[in-house]
């Protein structure tokens, strides 16, 4: 029993980072399949749905144990459960959202956390107009209460949706509180090595720039076609 | 003159996709340097700041013309302008935000669009409680006015912040309107090839899953250390 436990834990670190990066996408598609009552899917069908090659799918999914059975396809529920296990969904991580502005409110009201098994314990803000109010199921606390709150609750993740200018101060407080995970939307990159925490810096604007770049390429190629014609 | 124009246009498509993906990050750091009044920076300094190797930086930046001068460093403003040109910042793209919920409001109130030279022409929603109101500088229009609005304005990008369930209907309307760019926050992937548009699907939740995965790895390695001790 002990041994088996250890093996399953070790396997978490054995999946390559490239595959790990692709797993959330599988998670989303499998979730949708479950919602639609699907029990099995072939790699060919999944390939068409997700717009990746069937061999890529087999390669991705076989590396953490062969779920697929020849001529039978993947068991959707089992695959979903396995991916959740590897990604840490349902580990019951607890999060606080620091900054109850539009983005903070949008995040706590979305089903995103619940779907991934992350509990929102509360929001924190300095604005008296929002302190004490409830958004989604989460209450807004005064920023000055953060330390006491963290003493009384296990906080795994701090979601930062406060202005860029507040990052130096909040980083220092988070380091002192020893919060192990930071999900950072401030636009100011936080260096994981400096905080000792796991940090995910989200830069939504980078995706807008990629879109603008692709748009410009498209325009140029259409212009060129126009000139050639 | 004609010739030079053509060359500069052609160069846009010559940068490798891997480099293009990294350029928004350079954009952010260079912007910050300009804000702080910096005129020049060496690849070594930029390397330390951005936490990538100096040789990576030289490789990335030299591929669209050597900006760096030996022993002199990069001209920050020139580099910034060049990256903006390549990424299409300042092309004056016009966007509409479809869905004036929390996320839509958060996006239009953030400086993200302005920083990237994208103009928000307006928001669209079906909720009478928000139609006619203004968020940031953008007015909320009735969804039924979308077609008329697009006849009277050049709309380059539709930002989708409406519920997943609305995606099939809105996709059809966008295809009919021939809007060339879609920035999709709905969580439902839109297939670019089906719409003929450039599509960026944003999945904020994927980043939360990566964070949870890393957190779990960290916990396991700490547990293991505890057991070894």
Å from B79 to nearest chain A CA? Answer: 16
Confidence at residue A59, expressed as pLDDT on a 0 to 100 scale:
84
Confidence at residue B227, expressed as pLDDT on a 0 to 100 scale:
67
User: What mean pLDDT do residues A130-137 have?
Assistant: 94
Nearest to A27 among B25, B209, B214 (CB): B209
Domain map of chain A by residue range?
2-87, 94-205
Q: Mention the CATH class of domain A94-205.
A: alpha beta
Burial class (CB in 10 A: 0-12, 13-18, 19+), B32: middle
Confidence at residue B65, expressed as pLDDT on a 0 to 100 scale:
60
When the pLDDT of each residue in chain B is averaged and rounded to a whole number, the result is 87
Short-list A42, A43, A54, A46, CA closest to A30: A46
Confidence at residue B64, expressed as pLDDT on a 0 to 100 scale:
62
For residue B22, pLDDT beyond 60? yes
For residue B181, pLDDT beyond 70? yes
Of residues A224 and A49, the one with the higher pLDDT is A49
Q: Do A101 and B102 touch (CB under 8 A)?
A: no
Confidence at residue B10, expressed as pLDDT on a 0 to 100 scale:
41
When the pLDDT of each residue in chain A is averaged and rounded to a whole number, the result is 87
User: What mean pLDDT do residues A179-184 have?
Assistant: 96
For residue A121, pLDDT beyond 90? yes
Reported confidence tier of residue B147, pLDDT bands at 50, 70, 90 = very high
| A118 contact B CB<8A | yes
Reported confidence tier of residue A191, pLDDT bands at 50, 70, 90 = confident
Confidence at residue B34, expressed as pLDDT on a 0 to 100 scale:
94
Reported confidence tier of residue A183, pLDDT bands at 50, 70, 90 = very high
Confidence at residue B2, expressed as pLDDT on a 0 to 100 scale:
38
The domain A2-87 is placed in CATH, from the list 3.90.1150.10, 1.10.10.10, 2.160.10.10, 1.10.3720.10, at 1.10.10.10
Q: How many of the other CB atoms lie within 10 Å of CB of A142?
A: 14
Reported confidence tier of residue B193, pLDDT bands at 50, 70, 90 = confident
Reported confidence tier of residue B218, pLDDT bands at 50, 70, 90 = confident
Q: Do B217 and A25 touch (CB under 8 A)?
A: no
Q: Hey, do B2-87 and B94-205 end up sharing a CATH topology, with the first three levels equal?
A: no
| B164 contact A CB<8A | no
Q: Do B208 and A118 touch (CB under 8 A)?
A: yes
* Rounded distance between C-alpha atoms, residue B132 and residue B122, angstroms: 10
Reported confidence tier of residue B167, pLDDT bands at 50, 70, 90 = very high
Q: Do B87 and A112 touch (CB under 8 A)?
A: no
pTM here is 0.84
For residue B145, pLDDT beyond 80? yes
Q: Do A180 and B27 touch (CB under 8 A)?
A: no
């Amino acid at each position: 029993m002990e041994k088996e436990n250890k093996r399953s834990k070790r396997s978490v670190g054995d999946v390559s980072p490239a595959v790990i990066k692709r797993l959330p996408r599988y998670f989303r598609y499998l979730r949708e399949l479950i919602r639609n009552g699907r029990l099995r899917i072939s790699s060919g069908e999944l390939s068409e749905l997700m717009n990746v090659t069937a061999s890529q799918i087999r390669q991705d999914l076989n590396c953490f144990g062969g779920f697929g059975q020849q001529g039978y396809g993947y068991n959707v529920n089992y695959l979903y459960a396995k991916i959740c296990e590897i990604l840490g969904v349902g580990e019951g991580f607890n999060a606080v959202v620091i900054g109850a502005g539009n983005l903070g409110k949008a995040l706590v009201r979305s089903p995103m956390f619940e779907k991934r098994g992350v509990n929102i314990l509360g929001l924190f803000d300095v604005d008296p107009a929002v302190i004490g109010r409830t958004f989604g199921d989460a209450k807004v606390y005064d920023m000055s209460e953060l330390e006491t709150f963290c003493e009384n609750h296990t906080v795994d993740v701090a979601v930062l949706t406060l202005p860029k200018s507040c990052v130096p101060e909040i980083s220092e407080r988070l380091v002192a509180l020893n919060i192990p995970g930071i999900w950072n939307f401030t636009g100011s990159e936080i260096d994981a090595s400096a905080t000792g925490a796991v940090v995910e810096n989200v830069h939504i604007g980078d995706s807008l720039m990629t879109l603008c770049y692709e748009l410009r390429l498209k325009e140029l190629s259409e212009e060129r076609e126009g000139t050639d014609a």
